[in-house]
Amino acid sequence: MCGITGYLGPRSAVDTALNNLKRLEYRGYDSAGVAYPNCTHVQVVRAAGKIANLEGVLLATPHAANVAIAHTRWATHGGPSESNAHPHGDCSGRIAVVHNGIIENYASLRSELVASGHQFASETDTEVLAHLIEANLPSGQPGPEEIAGAIRVALRRVRGSYAIALISQDAPDMVFVARQDSPLVIGIGDGETFLASDIPAVMRYTRKVILLEDGDFATLTSERIGITDLHGVPVLRFPIEVTWDDAAAEKDGYEHFMLKEIHEGPRTVRDTLRGRMAGKGRVELPGVAFTPQEWAGFQRFVIVGCGTAYHAGVVGKRLFEQLLHRPVETAVASEFRYSEPILDAQTLVILVSQSGETADTLAAMRAAKPKGAKTLAIVNVVGSTLAREADATLLTQAGPEIGVASTKAYLAQLTALTLLGLFLVQTRPCEPTGATQETIDTLLWGLHGLPAVLERCLQDEAQIASLAESLAQHSSFFYLGRGYDYAISLEAALKLKEISYLHAEAYPAGEMKHGPLALVESGVAVIGFCTQPITNEKMLSNLKEVKAREGTIIAVIREGDRVPDCADAVITVPNAAAALMPIVTMVSMQLLAYYVAKARGCEIDQPRNLAKSVTVE
């Protein structure tokens, strides 16, 4: 998401910090800002839009300094604007802070600070940090140790994720930094120190970096780095030498953005869950602007999307029907507006999109509103057209996704739909639903542990890469499943099509004998999903039909399940609740598609004929 840089040393600090910030532009952002100490206070300069806009403002602003911090913001709390851009300051103007992450308890902290007289200038969660630190500073002119102590006390009250950098007029030759669940690196130069949220930002100046870990707090000067925990206890972090070239560094050492983003899946799910899993087995959706009466009034649901987002909707349909016992439809956005959809005030139209700018999805939303339906956007970009125009918005937290073939955004969409389904059950406690309390509790428990489960899926990468080498020789692929397994097969087949240019089709397994089985012969590979116990016996029969016609069978099974005797190869995935298996299984399918495409020598991040955001119909 956001980007942080900082500099301490003999160069022009502001220019150096901004030049390094440009190395992070690939992450995506909607505003930028810089802060540096001057004679009387900390100077903060910000601008909406690109870094070039900020540079234009700086042309008219003296900015000679040897210390600076800078930031590009991907909006979450509050829309894209100059006032919401980072850095943010305190009431006195003597400190400024930049922040990546989400402060989950910012609302209660803000209320407390306002009650004690603090005045806020933005809608952001980040500004709370500046005022909370100010509240812990002694009066007068605090020294570096007192500033560090105030920051540590403030951070111990914070719930959520952060990478922060702070400068103070009372310690003008220092930068104070801390990290929890958001990356932060320190670059070590000769008489100069660099700071960034990603290694690429510092590589033109130094290859020696310290990677801060969760719970670390550091004080930086141009000559010295001191690291402690949040209680002031010193910790050791040893520098590493970066050996990647610059292009690889932007990808954190991965060969392609797609592979990097597959590996970001667990963190993406964790970020999408953060702040929404309340105590006592409840889901909260802060910021989704429907009243309790509106939530309870929805009796019918339509999930609309294109491509990957539509496939997420197919999974969501099964889940919503299981949980709510209410009619749920899915619709391809490009067909929705021409289908004379039957909608009314009791219908919630859920529009799923990564970019929030997909033309067909926007058209579907605009067609739904005049018919009286309410619209809810599940979207990854806060300032997008879809987020602005929908009646309510549920943000995913995937961050920028560079690879054209969606990976982590799909996992975030499935996670958001699962949270939404569970929340809807909570809004109608007196109505009969299709889910037992045991089912709901199993889902909630499964969501808590889901990021760790996805990390385990990634451990099988080498095995999947080896399998992909042999599968790359096949001419055609079928992806088969039943129930949730069929829903996931749609997206799995799309991933292979998009980047390997191989024919791949998804079918309900029971439909193969109604026509497609005629295409099965030697050289045809069939991926059979067997993760749903209720349908596994029938899946076995379907796979045997394929085997009898000399197709190559790859069975996808859960840990501990029996390997089908007709399988030529097996991909094993961790066990999870039935409704969560599409998320778990998809990590392996993304890796399989990636390595098949790599074996075929295909362009992976930018496949032919495709664009990341389709803004025309």
Q: Which CATH architecture best describes the domain 261-455?
A: 3-Layer(aba) Sandwich (3.40)
pLDDT of residue 355: 84
Residue 23 sits at the vertex; the CA angle it makes with 18 and 27, to the nearest 5 degrees, is 110
* Residue range(s) of every CATH 3.60.20.10 domain in the chain: 3-250
pLDDT of residue 210: 94
Q: Summarize pLDDT for 542-563 with one digit per residue, the tens.
A: 888 888 888 899 999 999 999 9
Average pLDDT over residues 476-496: 96
Binning pLDDT at 50, 70 and 90, where does residue 614 land? low
pLDDT of residue 615: 43
pLDDT above 60: residue 617: no
Binning pLDDT at 50, 70 and 90, where does residue 95 land? very high
CATH number corresponding to 459-599: 3.40.50.10490
Q: Summarize pLDDT for 280-318 with one digit per residue, the tens.
A: 778 999 889 899 999 999 999 999 999 999 999 999 999
Tell me the residue ranges of DSSP E strands in 14-94: 31-37, 42-48, 67-73, 88-89
pLDDT of residue 60: 86
Taking alpha carbons only, the member of 125, 3, 164, 162 closest to residue 72 is 3
How many other C-beta atoms can be found within 10 angstroms of the C-beta atom of residue 458?
15
* Strands across the sheet containing 524-530: 503-508, 476-481, 524-530, 552-558, 569-573
The answer to whether the beta carbons of residues 594 and 604 sit under 8 Å apart is: yes
CA distance readout (Å), 432 to 208, 301, 346, 426, 579: 61, 17, 17, 12, 20
Residues 6+ apart with CB under 8 A from 509: 480, 481, 482, 485, 486, 528, 538, 539, 542, 543
Cβ burial, residue 470 (10 Å; 0-12/13-18/19+) = middle
pLDDT of residue 513: 83
Binning pLDDT at 50, 70 and 90, where does residue 430 land? low
Residue 563 sits at the vertex; the CA angle it makes with 558 and 566, to the nearest 5 degrees, is 130
Residue 398 sits at the vertex; the CA angle it makes with 397 and 399, to the nearest 5 degrees, is 95
pLDDT above 80: residue 383: no
Tell me the residue ranges of DSSP E strands in 74-168: 88-89, 95-100, 162-168
CATH class label, 3-250: alpha beta
Average pLDDT over residues 80-85: 91
Q: How do beta strands 95-100 and 88-89 pair?
A: antiparallel
Q: Is the N-terminal amide bond of 87 cis, ω within 30° of 0?
A: yes
Q: Which residues are catalytic?
A: 2, 612
Q: Summarize pLDDT for 487-512 with one digit per residue, the tens.
A: 999 999 999 999 999 999 999 988 88
pLDDT above 80: residue 448: yes
The answer to whether the beta carbons of residues 69 and 106 sit under 8 Å apart is: no
Q: Summarize pLDDT for 98-124 with one digit per residue, the tens.
A: 998 889 899 999 999 999 999 999 999
Residue at 131: amino acid letter = H
**To the nearest whole percent, how much of the chain has pLDDT over 70?**
96
Average pLDDT over residues 211-227: 95
8-state DSSP, 517 = G
**278 token code pair:** 């309340």
CA distance readout (Å), 420 to 130, 222, 239, 258, 613: 33, 48, 43, 27, 25
Q: How far apart are CA 514 and CA 163, in angstroms?
A: 55
* Residue range(s) of every CATH 3.40.50.10490 domain in the chain: 261-455, 459-599
